[in-house]
Structure 1
């Protein structure tokens, strides 16, 4: 039992590298993504981000969590919303319970302030998914989601939504129409090119703005890169 708990803790540390090792090369890459997102908002301030992937296991939840951390480290008041109502994971990443969350807010069982969780990262709050509903896409496109966004914008500078893979279900497409920008995560050596292109096309066909693509799990062979960042 103790061994399993230790393994879970180590996995969480690896996922939240921006928190556990903020000067590492990987953390620097998340900061670069943050900078690129900030530059993309010249004409309109980005107050909400959707993070999705083409298929499962490509690192979207890890990317969403680490982006939330680096934006919070910049001084923004950030809310990470686990809106993957098919396979929620934020409660594991941040060691929280998932009894209440986004779904209980949308169904008016709780208020937003009642179910948000402060994290041990300054300026970062977490809203877990809550009980998995039978109708995720309907909840995403509901008036309740519109009201949720209005209320959340009043309390936070930036909302980051972790959604299901876009090729699996329609949830990400539905929510992309309601947020200010979308980030697509693809995994090097795993995501098929056709799948990545199809995911991009689906996102581009929405009214939402595709900010860019994050290439995950890319092997870096140039050791000078590590040396450069190691000097910081």
Structure 2
């Protein structure tokens, strides 16, 4: 795969954010494992297997959170599928340095099967489904019957399915998908997310009948250290 200069920069930036894979013993990685545990204990009656990760607005760290959660679930021995459901500004293929010529949109439009589109990476138990070609109708695709068939097919092959979605206040895509997933994680950037935006996001997800599992406070500097960020579930 030959990358242009700007694309190479994006790949390097995203690889640096994959801390749970590159530095699994770091304090940040431990926080991601705490989030994983909290997710697993969030429902007594059923095992949470389909999880959507979103944010109120852009730049709050939802894609970084999704990727690292996928890694820690895979490290636990779960067979994990990370799906880039941001069909407008996809980034997962940069994070894992894979091609995005085919992916979710290819499956939803019946051009390829799920397992033909899934990409294996250099990590046991973790599989990636990039967005694929950006479609003209992202919301319609995510809300289609084809998406329901996709979910059923994916659940037969994988233990955990994580969806990286667009910000809730930007477009309706995340609301549509929250209705199809068992749980939603909301990422809030410290010093970036405003209370009114978070309240509005919560209301929109609840109106879509989405189940909010918790909130991850992202990029909050700890007092005892200036060298790492804290990630937690509230």
Number of the residue aligned with 1:13: 15
* 1:168-189, Cα deviation, whole Å (9 max, x unpaired): 0000000101111000001000
CA RMSD of aligned residues (A): 1.9
Alpha-carbon distance change, 9 to 212 in structure 1, aligned in 2, over 3 angstroms:
same
Consecutive unaligned residues of structure 1, counting only runs of 5 or more, are 227-232
How many equivalent pairs are there?
226
Alpha-carbon distance change, 5 to 57 in structure 1, aligned in 2, over 3 angstroms:
closer
Shift of 1:10: 3.9
* 1:40-92, Cα deviation, whole Å (9 max, x unpaired): 12211101000000001110000000000000000000000000001000110
Alpha-carbon distance change, 157 to 174 in structure 1, aligned in 2, over 3 angstroms:
same
Alpha-carbon distance change, 98 to 4 in structure 1, aligned in 2, over 3 angstroms:
closer
Alpha-carbon distance change, 218 to 206 in structure 1, aligned in 2, over 3 angstroms:
same
Number of the residue aligned with 1:128: 130
Number of the residue aligned with 2:210: 208
Number of the residue aligned with 1:217: 219
CA contact (8 A) 2:11 2:94 kept: no
Cα distance in 2 for residues equivalent to 1:39 and 1:22: 22
Cα distance in 2 for residues equivalent to 1:32 and 1:120: 24
Number of the residue aligned with 1:230: none
Of residues 83, 86, 90, the one that matches 1:84 is 86
Provide the TM-score with structure 1 as the length reference: 0.92
Provide the TM-score with structure 2 as the length reference: 0.92
- Aligned pairs for 1:1-232 (under 5 A) are 7-8=9-10, 10-223=12-225
SS of equivalent to 2:220: coil
